[in-house]
Amino acid sequence: MNDNFNDDFLNILVYPSPMLKQTCREVSPRELLWKKFDPVEGSLHGMTLLGIPTLLSSMRATMNAVGGVGLAAPQVGLCVRIFVAKIGGETISCINPVLDEMRGKTKQVEGCLSLPGAQLEVERADSLILRGCDGDGKPFERQCEGMDAWVCQHEVDHLDGITILERVGPSQRFLLRHLLSRLESDYEFMKRRSKERRKKK
């Protein structure tokens, strides 16, 4: 049974879930070949049973359903280096991404599906080359500019256990103190309710 999978959609983990702080491991050549995962330490129960094609399909469906432009595997409970994103007018899947030749610096207001309600001004490179493997395990590289470059950096941050909260200073975090406090309270409530449900089973 998969605790995070229902009718092709995945639950998105929200701050302060500990999984958002984890550094994800690469998908191995064996996993790419067989299109299924070996055990992944720290992941939610049942997520590795999905297999790579099902995971990517469900991540794309979930991202589109919530109106997002990117979604990383740890946001849905699987600690591997995978993300999906809307880049250059299409939805791409990227496995084991690497960002190269990052140039320019600009600031822009940025949100995050794992920090609902937060809008923070973040500085990022505005040009880069994205390298990785697609959903079939084939290597690719892509020049990304502007918003496309921003999305790639945001999603790779998630794979390194970094959220936009770590990209801003204390003054911006202070302005979010009430929102963060509410999200922390909601998280503790859901955690207690989950424990109670497991006791009843």
Reply yes or no on whether the pLDDT at 128 is more than 60. Answer: yes
- Rounded to 5 degrees, what angle do the CA atoms 70, 72, 76 make? 115
Q: What is the pLDDT of residue 71?
A: 98
Euclidean distance between CA atoms 1 and 77, whole angstroms: 14
Residue 55 has pLDDT above 80, yes or no: yes
In this prediction, residue 201 carries a pLDDT of 65
The pTM (predicted TM-score) of the whole model is 0.94
Q: Which of 31, 90, 110, 155 is catalytic?
A: 155
Active site annotation includes 155: yes
pLDDT band at 157 (very low <50, low <70, confident <90, very high): very high
Would you say residue 1 has pLDDT above 70?
no
Give residue 54's region: left, alpha or beta (phi > 0; psi -120 to 50). alpha
Q: Which residues contact 142 (CB under 8 A, 6 or more apart)?
A: 87, 88, 92, 129, 130, 131
The H-or-E segment that residue 2 falls in is none
Asked if pLDDT for residue 200 goes beyond 90, the answer is no
Residue 100 pLDDT > 50: yes
Domains of the chain: 5-200 (3.90.45.10)
Backbone angles phi, psi at 18, to 5 degrees: -60, -25
